């Protein structure tokens, strides 16, 4: 079987860069995007690849249970045809700024939770259970230092709902890690990781803030670092920074 990476949230930014670097390294990738018609950069990347067949692009709207299920079915079909899901990266996310706790609307708070927490967890749950005899080696959730409850970043004005959604994601992925370990068998070898990608300059981060963001990096540097961390770290239920530093929950 051919080892394959599944990248969810692959149309731009960090997710697109994951696909780019993995293809450059000769990997096979299944890329999930919210809308096939709005993934021009990803389609161009696939077309420019020396072996375009190594990249499969499927729709996966992380806010829709039906879309997640259809995506899972597509990945299942690929597995049946000879691909093995080796690693899964859940990168899909949203940041509508500002999202202050004293101003947030019900619908905007719900959107952050559905996109940043519920959708990624449900998608991971479906993908992890696709093949009981060959579960993925690693399930990686792109989180944020904003979701740390130990290191509260009170200078981040306007990040209330975003931070809460990432904190909830962190807690759920830790439960997922513990549950897979308790399940035993081959499941206990599946490693669940949370990753802080750094202060990456992407379209989502292109907002006017009331403070200086220090240590900004480009997506290629972030992803190159995260790929090393994903390869090296095998402590399930742990939280890491893109540069290999352990991050406190």
Task: Please enumerate in sequence order all residues whose Cβ is within 8 A of that of 74, keeping only pairs 6 or more positions apart, or say none.
Answer: 30, 58
Please give the Cα distance from 144 to 120 (Å, whole number).
14
Q: What is the pLDDT of residues 61-98, one digit of tens each?
A: 999 999 999 999 999 999 999 999 999 999 999 999 89
User: What are the structural domains, with CATH classification, of the chain?
Assistant: 2-241 (3.40.50.720)
Specify the 3-state DSSP secondary structure of 226.
helix
**pLDDT one-digit tens code per residue, 142-164:** 999 999 999 887 888 888 999 99
Q: How many CA atoms lie within 13 A of 75 on its CB side?
A: 34
Q: Considering the chain, what percentage of its residues have pLDDT values greater than 70?
A: 94
* Residues in CB range of 57: below 8 A, 6 or more apart: 10, 31, 33, 36, 39, 42, 43, 46
Tell me the C-alpha distance between 206 and 96, whole Å: 11
Q: Tell me the per-residue pLDDT of 200-228, one tens digit each, with 9 for 90 and over.
A: 986 555 556 655 655 589 999 999 999 99
Tens-digit pLDDT profile for residues 170-190: 999 999 999 999 999 999 999
Residue 215: predicted pLDDT: 58
Sign of CA dihedral 88, 89, 94, 100: positive
Q: According to the model, what pLDDT value does residue 152 have?
A: 86
Q: How far apart are CA 208 and CA 15, in angstroms?
A: 23
State the Cα angle at 182 between 142 and 78, rounded to 5°: 55
Q: Model's pTM, two decimal places?
A: 0.94
Residue 88 pairs in a beta bridge with 6, 139
Cα–Cα distances (Å) from 61 to 1, 40, 96, 155, 184, in that order, read 28, 16, 17, 32, 31
pLDDT score at 208: 61
Percentage helix, strand, coil for the chain under 3-state DSSP, each rounded to 5: 45, 20, 35
């Amino acid at each position: 079987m051919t080892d394959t990476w599944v990248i969810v949230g692959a149309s731009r930014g960090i997710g697109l860069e994951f696909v780019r670097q993995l293809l450059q390294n000769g990997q096979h990738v299944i890329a999930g995007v919210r809308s096939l018609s709005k993934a021009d950069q990803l389609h161009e990347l696939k077309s420019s690849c020396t072996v375009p067949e190594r990249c499969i692009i499927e729709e996966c709207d992380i806010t829709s249970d039906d879309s997640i299920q259809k995506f899972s079915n597509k990945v299942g079909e690929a597995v049946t045809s000879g691909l093995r899901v080796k690693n899964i990266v859940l990168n899909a996310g949203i940041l509508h700024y500002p999202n202050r706790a004293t101003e947030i609307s019900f619908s905007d708070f719900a959107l952050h939770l559905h996109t940043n927490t519920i959708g990624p967890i449900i998608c991971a749950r479906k993908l992890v259970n696709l093949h009981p005899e060959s579960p993925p080696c690693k399930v990686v959730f792109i989180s944020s230092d904003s979701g740390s409850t130990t290191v509260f970043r009170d200078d981040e004005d306007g990040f209330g709902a975003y931070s809460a959604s990432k904190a909830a994601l962190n807690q759920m992925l830790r439960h997922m890690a513990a549950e897979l370990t308790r399940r035993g068998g081959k499941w206990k070898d599946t490693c669940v990781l949370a990753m802080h990608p750094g202060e990456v300059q992407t379209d989502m981060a292109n907002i006017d803030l009331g403070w200086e963001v220090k240590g900004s990096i480009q997506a290629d540097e972030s992803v190159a670092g995260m790929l090393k961390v994903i390869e090296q770290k095998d402590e399930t239920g742990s939280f890491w920074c893109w540069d290999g530093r352990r991050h406190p929950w």
